[in-house]
Amino acid sequence: MQIKPAELASRLRGQLAPVYFISGDEPLRVMEAADAVRARAREQGYDEREVLTVQPGFDWGALESAAGNLSLFSQRRIIDLRLPTGKPGDAGSKALRAYAEQPPGETLLLITAGKLEQSARRSKWVQALDRAGVVVFVWPLDAQQFPAWVRARMRQRGLEPTTEAVALLAERVEGNLLACVQEIDKLYLLQGEGPVDATAITAMVADSARFDVFTLVDAALGGDGVRCARILHGLQGEGVAAPMVLWALIREVRQLATMADAVAGGEAIPGVLARFRVWQARKAVIGQALGRLSSAACRDLLRRGARVDRIIKGRAAGNPWDELLQLSLLLAGVAAFPATQFQQPA
């Protein structure tokens, strides 16, 4: 029986199936679905667990042996089969089909696997597992689903976020569910239960470094060159990777360039900020940046960023951190170094 991840909890309240197959390329959701199955099985007296991990050269006879072994300590047990690639091969396909056709009593087979291609989802071994038990395909959350997931996750922790706080957290973790959960846990430890606004997210959700790349971006947007230099020095001292700093700066410049185009076309800055759904806590600094940076200036910053990228990769001469400082200061509107018009690489 194939079900959606959201349906698993209700299904587990009833009688457990002999087989559960959970597959997907979102590690956190796959892991949590498997944890839910294991937790429910323990409640039902499945006290013993044998873990089998399929690696190159894996002997699929181990599955048959595990199924046939009698436990001396528990009447019920779990066979935890881990299939990272989602490809059991011919021998594995036959072994899984054979198991599914005659699952042993008092044994629960839990299989977790990576993402399956559509052809694999229609394979005979998957169909056999579907007939024998429960199949759950975990799909990545899309851009529309992710904020709702973030809000629900925060509420599970007793946090009551504003819409802007949810949007900011979702933006900063870039769809990485594991990173999002870690940041929510950190937020809970620092603040405890209760309301959470965008200011709290900005203050508490950051890199493990003393200074974080997002603070650098906001300082540059706000035109604070002195603070940019101090934060960048801190990032370098903390060992933050230069590509991460460049990514954060250029990500912001790309959006600024698009908004600057709209301003150049005659649209008022407040209207642009509203249309691009800039959250309230950042409207001031982004508005400042749009007031001093033209569309052409943003494009020049993007070209400079491309050059910094080549320097970081060793394809051009220069010091990456010196170049990142120049880029940050130019974004801040501080002409500390002679401005150079960078041409697109040939």
182: CATH: 1.10.8.60
Q: What is the CATH number of the domain that holds 297?
A: 1.20.272.10
Question: Rounded to 5 degrees, what angle do the CA atoms 164, 295, 276 make?
Answer: 20
Q: Which residue has the higher pLDDT, 136 or 211?
A: 136
Domain of residue 266: give its range: 213-331
pLDDT in tens, 296-309: 999 999 999 999 99
pLDDT band at 78 (very low <50, low <70, confident <90, very high): very high
Amino acid 206: pLDDT: 47
pLDDT for 210? 39
3-state secondary structure 35-48: HHHHHHHHHCCEEE
Are 123 and 161 members of one domain?
Answer: no
Residue 343 lies in a domain: no
CATH number at residue 117: 3.40.50.300
Strands 2-3 and 134-138 turn out to be parallel
Which of residues 158 and 119 earns the better pLDDT score?
A: 158
Residue with token string 């457990």:
16
Domain boundary residue among 138, 156, 188? 138
Counting the structural domains of the chain, the total is 3
Residue 231 and residue 173 share a domain: no
Per-residue model confidence (pLDDT) at position 344: 41
* Whether residue 187 has pLDDT greater than 60: yes
Contacts of 109 (CB under 8 A, 6+ apart): 18, 19, 20, 67, 78, 79, 81, 99, 103, 133
Domain termination residue (choose one: 96, 114, 138): 138
Mean pLDDT of 78-101: 92
pTM of the model: 0.59
Domain assignment present for 344: no
Report the alpha-carbon distance of residue 42 to residue 44 in Å, rounded.
5
pLDDT score, position 160: 95
pLDDT band, residue 345 (cuts 50/70/90): very low
- Per-residue model confidence (pLDDT) at position 70: 62
Mean pLDDT of the chain: 87
The three-state secondary structure class of 57 is coil
- Please give the average per-residue pLDDT across 29-52, as a whole number: 92
**Which of 138, 157, 177 finishes a domain?**
138
The answer to whether position 188 is within a domain reads yes
Indicate if 39 and 153 belong to the same structural domain. Answer: no
Q: Give the burial string for 4-36 (b: 16+ CB within 10 Å, else e).
A: ebeebeebbeeebbbbbbbbbebeebbebbbeb
Residue 338 domain flag: no
Looking at residue 207, its pLDDT comes to 40
Statement to judge: residues 19 and 125 lie in one domain: yes
